[in-house]
Amino acid sequence: MTKKFHPLSLAALLIGIVSLSPMQSALSQSASPEPALGTYHWPNGTAGVDAFATWLGRDTVWGLDFVGGESWDNVGWPTWWLETWSAWVKAKPGRRFVLSIPLLAGPVDGSGPTQGDKGKGVPVSLEQGATGAYNQHFKDLAENLVRHGLGDSILRPGWEFNGDWYTWRAKGKTAAFIGYWRQIVSTMRAVPGAEGLKFCWNPTLGDQQFPADEAWPGDEYVDYVGVDVYDETWNADTYPWPAHASDEEITRRQKKVWEEWIMHSPRGLAFWTKFAKTHGKPLAFPEWGVVNGNHGHGGNDNPYFIEQMHAFITDPVNAVAFHCYFDINSPELRHQLSPGPAKSDKPEGTQFPKAAAKFKALFGVAKP
């Protein structure tokens, strides 16, 4: 995503006597006819995830969440998150947890944690992380994931590092980012019982602040190539459209965005599909969604975007393993398609009726 304001089981079935390498296993996993679908619906949003599944008529949907970056305690000991998600995962077969982990605690200026007992107010940096200075926090996290029965979770350390809106922004610091990523993966994989953890290296679409592939940590340290994709752009002759634009003009611009920005811009989907295949990794979309933003550069109620994403995700040629729809409305950015939980404290719903209908038709389960 160009600017962020939100917070911070597909298992390969090995039959026969041939033993697949980890890379072959990952790719065979992604060749499933239907990549796994997940969603984000606020912190600890298990009720929202279940409501999303019910809306689509699906038995299970994976859950995505974000650990808060206010403190190192949240990174190593996210008890509030793990207790809830552990019970949710264990309650029904086929569920899986995707967790977004801050690389650095504290605000974007690197001034350090604002809460907690560990290093409050002490400046943080990718360079320090690359020396192993923060490894204990990730060792604690791995042990806590195992302790809560979440040892097969998919982790997104330092998501959207190619932007400038998170503390771990990696522009000009790619060597430190790579070194720190390797420290984290090596540390967590060494924890007994954590061998099933998977690591999703996850830039956002486009060149953004720098070409994200310059921060590739190495094939042995990554399980999925993740890309966040939202229907928004600042390209000319796209969004926003004129106040009195015809339906035909709006559709023309929405199609232009898909072709020129989402698919074929530098570090668009065509680039990342080839990149993932070159490195022998499945592709994933840990966040994606339609956009109505205060910035005015979203495609709004765009069923064409939903249709194209569905076609891309379900095409086996693209080797997509999983995708998570970002199903919330915040004051700055609106994405929600589902009605939300029935017993919500506040009324929910969608501003995108055409996109929601298209999503349900394509990703939902038809009633007999």
pLDDT for res 367: 65
pLDDT for res 271: 98
Specify the CATH number for the domain of residue 246: 3.20.20.80
Q: Evaluate whether residue 176 is within a structural domain.
A: yes
Strands (DSSP E) found in the chain:
36-40, 62-66, 97-101, 154-157, 198-201, 224-226, 229-230, 283-289, 292-293, 320-326, 333-334
pLDDT for res 344: 67
Whole-angstrom distance, CA of residue 80 vs CA of residue 164: 28
Question: What backbone phi and psi angles, to 5 degrees, belong to 334?
Answer: -115, 130
Burial of 275 (0-12, 13-18, 19+ CB in 10 A): middle
Q: Evaluate whether residue 173 is within a structural domain.
A: yes
* Averaged pLDDT in 10-residue chunks for the chain of 368 residues: 40 31 42 83 97 97 97 96 98 98 97 94 97 98 98 98 97 98 98 98 97 98 98 97 96 98 97 98 98 97 98 98 97 96 81 98 85
Q: Is the distance from CB of 137 to CB of 146 less than 8 angstroms?
A: no
> Per residue in 184-209, pLDDT tens?
999 999 999 999 999 999 999 999 99
Q: Evaluate whether residue 347 is within a structural domain.
A: yes
Q: Evaluate whether residue 284 is within a structural domain.
A: yes
DSSP 318: G
Tell me the HSE value of 281 on the side-chain side, using a 13 A CA sphere: 24
Q: Evaluate whether residue 242 is within a structural domain.
A: yes
pTM of the model: 0.90
Q: Evaluate whether residue 130 is within a structural domain.
A: yes
Q: Evaluate whether residue 9 is within a structural domain.
A: no
Q: Evaluate whether residue 137 is within a structural domain.
A: yes
Q: Is the distance from CB of 310 to CB of 258 less than 8 angstroms?
A: no
Whole-angstrom distance, CA of residue 260 vs CA of residue 266: 9
Domain span at 119: 29-363
**Dihedral sign (CA 39, 42, 43, 47):** negative
Q: How many domains does the chain have?
A: 1
